[in-house]
Amino acid sequence: MSPRRPVWPWYGGTAALILLDQISKILVRQRFDLHESLSLLGGDLVRLTYVLNPGIAFGLRLPGPILLLIFGWLAAGILTVYLYTLVRRGDALRWPVMLFLAGAIGNSIDRALYGAVTDFLDVDFPDVIMERWPVFNAADSCVTIGIIWMIALLLFHRREVAPASLSPSTIGEPSDRSFGTRPGTHPVPNDDRPGPATGTD
């Protein structure tokens, strides 16, 4: 039996991501006026722009702020239990689910305390579909990275599972299914010794 994997590092990692998200939002609310913008890189390539988003990620809107709040905390509860299950069985999906959980809790805290989510990362976008990418935050980034990571895992590496044939309990043990014999039986060795002579003189 494989040792049980500890769960606390994964919840600790989730808490660290939530803390990073909340500290960044606090700093923006303290140092910026609403809709104030500051250029960081390449002129308008990357800016800090303080906006409040009453909808979901990347400025998308859904009716009913109370419904969004309930949905966010419900999703966080489900992801918390799911992360526990994934960690215990060593599933590689624990990585993106940890990111989903951090993103869900980070934005749900904003909705519960302020009625809207604080967004501030403002990035330019090729002028094909939109002029600029919708303003987002660290929690949104966790969700986006988690989606990309999950798709990659589902396509290329679904689960981290050690081959059963290499487990310590099976190394060196003979297989009951070798030589086409039934389980629990052993093949009879072929006796090539000559039998007694039956011919006449």
Is the pTM above the cut of 0.75?
A: no
- 8 Å CB contact between 100 and 143: yes
Give the domain range for residue 146.
8-160
Residue 80 lies in a domain: yes
Instruction: Output the pLDDT for position 194.
Output: 56
- Identify whether the C-beta of residue 103 lies closer than 8 Å to the C-beta of residue 140: yes
Q: Clarify whether 44 is annotated catalytic.
A: no
The active-site residue, picked from 21, 91, 110, 119, is: 119
Residue 117 lies in a domain: yes
The whole-number mean pLDDT for each consecutive block of 10 residues of the chain, a chain of 201 residues, reads 81 98 98 96 89 73 74 96 96 97 96 94 82 91 96 79 44 45 51 53 44
Q: How many domains does the chain have?
A: 1
Tell me whether residue 72 is in a domain.
yes
Q: Which of 91, 140, 191, 201 is catalytic?
A: 140
Active site residue 140: yes
Q: For 38, phi and psi rounded to 5 degrees?
A: -135, 125
Q: Domain for residue 108, yes or no?
A: yes
**Closest alpha carbon to 76 in 98, 101, 96, 109:** 101
Q: Are 63 and 92 in contact (CB under 8 A)?
A: no
Indicate whether 21 belongs to any domain. Answer: yes
Q: Is residue 35 part of a domain?
A: yes
